[in-house]
Amino acid sequence: MRPWTAGTLKAAFFFFASISAWYSGYLLAELIPEVSLTRAVYGFRSIAEKPLLKAPTPKRQKCDHWTPCPLNTYAYRLLSGGGQDKYAKICFEDELLIGEKTGNVGRGINIAIVDYLTGKVRATQYFNMVEGDNSGLMASFIQSAPPKSLLFMVTQDDGASGLKEDAKKVIEALGSKQIRNIQFRSSWVFLTAKGFELPADIQRENINHSDNARNRYSGWPAEIQIEGCIPKMPS
């Protein structure tokens, strides 16, 4: 008898291994009930078909703040105009006091006066600083605000060309540090109080000058804003 060659032994090994693998699979299929396999397949399909969980939509805050103001405070947001189509806004306690939707925004300096004790708006007005002589009228309007008033001011287009010394003095007396720096088409926002002091940590003023090398819009700088929370009068 001829001795088995290495090739013959290898072929025999693979033959028996294949038979063993087939038989093991057959036994496994016989031992595991069909219902269990069906349930397992269905479970995997269910997991794959379930919709992905989505993060809840953030709750909108007053005046579009990112976070809510603390209790017993007023929310405010001042936004200057930008270019020809971005209108200035004054929002207080989620009420739009001045803006495109309210139809009371105009080129120049826009002002809203609010009763600090009640949170109710007293008056709103814009003063054209490009056409007409309105600087004196604006100074008188600001001075007419009674004590315990909040005053909000924002520019639309140009607030500097017609601004005269009388109005600058009145605004400067209320704490503005930038009114004498305002230039042609500067974006400017200002918050102040009459008859009481605001907390020192409240942002009150911001300005952005027109610069052809940096302007966001053709001929105009980017709009600017300030926002925050004003503590109410303790009861």
State the DSSP code for 98: E
Contact (Cβ atoms closer than 8 angstroms) between residue 208 and residue 164: no
- Which is nearest to 139 in space by CA: 177, 109, 118? 109
Asked if 192 and 198 touch (Cβ cutoff 8 Å), the reply is yes
Map tokens 């520019």 to a residue.
155
Pairing type for strands 149-156 and 187-194 reads antiparallel
pLDDT at residue 175 in the model? 97
Query: How large is the average pLDDT for residues 17-24?
Result: 58
Tell me the pLDDT tens digit for each residue of 36-78.
545 655 555 665 566 666 666 667 899 999 999 999 999 999 9
Phi, psi (5° rounding) for residue 73? -135, 160
Q: What is the pLDDT of residue 159?
A: 96
- The pLDDT of 143-159, averaged and rounded, is 97
Write out pLDDT tens, residues 170-201: 999 999 999 999 999 999 999 999 999 999 99
Q: How confident is the model at residue 18 (pLDDT cuts 50, 70, 90)?
A: low
With bands split at pLDDT 50, 70 and 90, how would you rate the model's confidence at 219? confident
Which residues are CB-contacts of 117 (< 8 A; sequence separation ≥ 6)?
A: 148, 233
What the block records as the tokens of 49 is 């078909």
CA atoms within 13 A on the CB side of 56: 3
Quote the pLDDT of residue 35.
46
Give the relative orientation of helices 165-173 and 135-143 as an angle to the nearest 10 degrees: 30
Q: Does residue 222 have a pLDDT over 80?
A: yes
- Identify which has the larger pLDDT, 227 or 84: 227
Position 235 scores a pLDDT of 65
Q: Which residues contact 224 (CB under 8 A, 6 or more apart)?
A: 79, 80, 187, 188, 189, 206, 207, 208
**pLDDT for the residue 37:** 46
**Mean pLDDT of the residues in the chain:** 85
Can you give the pTM of this predicted structure? Answer: 0.75
pLDDT cut 70: percent of the chain above it = 75
- Cα separations in angstroms, 60 against 27, 68, 87, 93: 62, 9, 21, 13
